[in-house]
Amino acid sequence: MPFLDRALMVAAVWLAFATGTTLQAQAAETRLWTTTFASSGNCRAYARATGPEQFSSSVTGFSWPMPKGSGAEFVDMTILHLNAAAAGRANNQALLARLLTAANSGAYTRLDFGARGGASPSFLTSVMVGTVAHGVSYLREKNAISPSELKTIDGWVRILLRNSGKKASSTDHKASIAAASLAWGAAIGDTRLFRSGMSSLDQVMGKIRSTPRFDTKVRVNTETLPIVLMAAHILRLNGIDYFSKSFGKHNLHDVVAYHAAWVSQTGTKKVKTEAIADSVARSIMRSDGWGAHQAWIPLYLAHFPKAHAAADVRALHDQVKRAHNAPYYGRNMGFYSACYFGMR
């Protein structure tokens, strides 16, 4: 995109945020779906068209292995489509059919807090919104979704967004709601929802005012940081440098540097999360997982290869790969970061 055109586009985005007007479909690509950092090889390694399937009306928390038809599997299978899209091999009709089938059937709109699972069903619902948002943003870019089809999916996603806020007490859950609002607002040009997401993210970031961390427990910080970085990535796509925004004494770059050193010091020691009473202690020196992972590394280095925290992040990357040499994929981010951010 020529510099002048890009400058005008960013100015239009800022004007929309200021006035609350809705941007048209052509802006959606820049504001959410992007393949700027993508690695087609990494994407192809985990990509295929699936569905549409029969989806459950209820959603439980994340559990492994993922039950057939569960919300967690829906996220995982939809990401296969997104990876194919990032590699230029998407089946647009199959992706749209998948999303429409889910929307028309009211999939995952009933929260089941009584079932076994790690993260709560409302938390998982917020992750689903982010994944669906990327799919819709991609389809809008390709002019592969009609206004009526978008309206159908939007009605379903609004229910998911409302459900996301139920029993949301943990820091990572609150961050995930903010990221979901940002993602869906960006995907469909809803600037009011976008601003609401940024306001919610500000509240989460208030925790770093005195110390550049979200919690005194390293695993809680591990579970929160990838989601916050995904939200900041969406903001940066819209010309908003949230990474440098100060909260008290610190900004997000400081949080990244602090966390990289903290995880490096923790090593492969197994630690529990505070959010789940009966949680299993796990190593956080991992490249994939639901929440106990460091799959945010490709995202940060894609945006800031020369930032003051980058050396610490690269050192952590080397340490992670010695301990767990799998592709980067943090499921609570709602995206396959090895594909989307081009670093295995």
Domains in the chain, number? 1
Do the bridges between strand 329-330 and strand 288-289 make them parallel or antiparallel, or are there none, so unpaired?
parallel
pLDDT per position as a tens digit, 125-172: 999 999 999 999 999 999 999 999 999 999 999 999 999 999 999 999
Domain annotation covers residue 166: yes
Cα-based distances in Å from 67 to 63, 98, 112, 168, 194: 8, 18, 14, 23, 32
Q: Give domain status of residue 88, yes or no.
A: yes
Query: Crossing angle, helix 171-188 and helix 218-237, to 10 degrees?
Result: 20
Q: Is residue 22 part of a domain?
A: no
Phi-psi region of 206 (alpha: psi -120 to 50; beta: other; left: phi over 0): alpha
Q: Please check whether residue 2 lies inside any domain of the structure.
A: no
- Short-list 291, 308, 182, CA closest to 250: 308
Alpha helices in the chain (DSSP H): 3-19, 28-31, 40-44, 71-86, 92-104, 121-141, 147-164, 171-188, 191-205, 218-237, 252-266, 297-303, 310-323, 337-340
SS3 282: strand
Does a structural domain hold residue 241? yes
Rg (CA), the chain: 19
Global pTM reads 0.91
Q: Does residue 10 fall inside a structural domain?
A: no
CA distance 251 to 229: 12
13 belongs to a structural domain: no
Which CATH number characterizes residue 46's domain?
1.50.10.100
Is 290 within a domain? yes
Range of the domain at 91: 27-340
Q: Tens digit of pLDDT for each residue in 84-138?
A: 999 999 999 999 999 999 999 999 999 999 876 556 999 999 999 999 999 999 9
pLDDT in tens, 28-75: 344 899 999 999 999 999 999 887 788 999 999 887 777 888 999 999
